[in-house]
């Protein structure tokens, strides 16, 4: 395997480390099929670090395995009129493939978390992937799938500070 990568190294402008990482990824791919991981075998003195693509695939698989609870689906009948408008707008953008980024704002106790819970359940029940991120880690920690992730962490972006 290393010889194959080394042969094409010149064509792809790969460094020695890139070749090593490709070999380790190939070995790890085979081991994963057997339910193992390359780091278990201490083949190298450093930990194998998955690349962006592998992290992306793992994140999608994780999102698809989040359970959808019936009580969250039934919550649609408990939405107030403003929550229902927000639900319909966001849900339709998702299911009609028009997409978008939505920001729901309001003071504490107005039902934002309930709206998110119902919305996520309905979107995920259709086998869509719904990513929820927050502007602060405290907000993000409320949701199982975010693991406290913020917008800037999830999308590798900086939120500009505004001065007034």
Residue at 65 is within a domain? no
Note the pTM of the prediction, 2 decimals: 0.55
In angstroms, the CA 141 to CA 132 distance is 11
Residue at 38 is within a domain? yes
Residue at 122 is within a domain? yes
For the four alpha carbons of 53, 56, 61 and 62, in that order, the dihedral sign comes to: positive
In angstroms, the CA 67 to CA 76 distance is 17
pLDDT at 152: 45
pLDDT at 143: 52
In angstroms, the CA 152 to CA 156 distance is 5
For residues 118 and 75, membership in a common domain is answered with: yes
List Cα–Cα distances, 117 to 18, 42, 62, in angstroms: 42, 42, 17
Domain extent for 42: 2-49
pLDDT under 70 in the chain at which residues? 1-14, 44-51, 54, 132-164
In angstroms, the CA 41 to CA 47 distance is 11
pLDDT in tens, 104-151: 888 888 999 899 899 999 998 998 877 766 655 444 445 544 444 544
């Amino acid at each position: 395997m290393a010889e194959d990568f080394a042969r094409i190294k010149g064509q792809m402008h790969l460094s020695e480390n890139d070749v090593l990482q490709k070999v380790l990824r190939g070995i790890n791919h085979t081991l994963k099929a057997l339910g193992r991981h390359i780091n278990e075998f201490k083949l190298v003195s450093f930990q194998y670090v998955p690349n962006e693509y592998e992290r992306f695939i793992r994140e999608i698989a994780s999102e698809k395995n989040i359970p959808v609870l019936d009580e969250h689906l039934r919550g649609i009948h408990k939405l107030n009129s403003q929550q229902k408008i927000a639900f319909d707008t966001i849900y339709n953008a998702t299911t009609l493939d028009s997409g978008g980024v939505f920001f729901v704002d309001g003071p504490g106790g107005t039902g934002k978390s309930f709206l998110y819970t119902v919305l996520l359940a309905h979107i995920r029940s259709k086998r869509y992937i719904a990513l929820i991120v927050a502007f602060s880690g405290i907000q993000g920690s409320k949701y199982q799938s975010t693991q406290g992730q913020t917008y800037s962490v999830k999308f590798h972006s900086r939120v500009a500070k505004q001065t007034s």
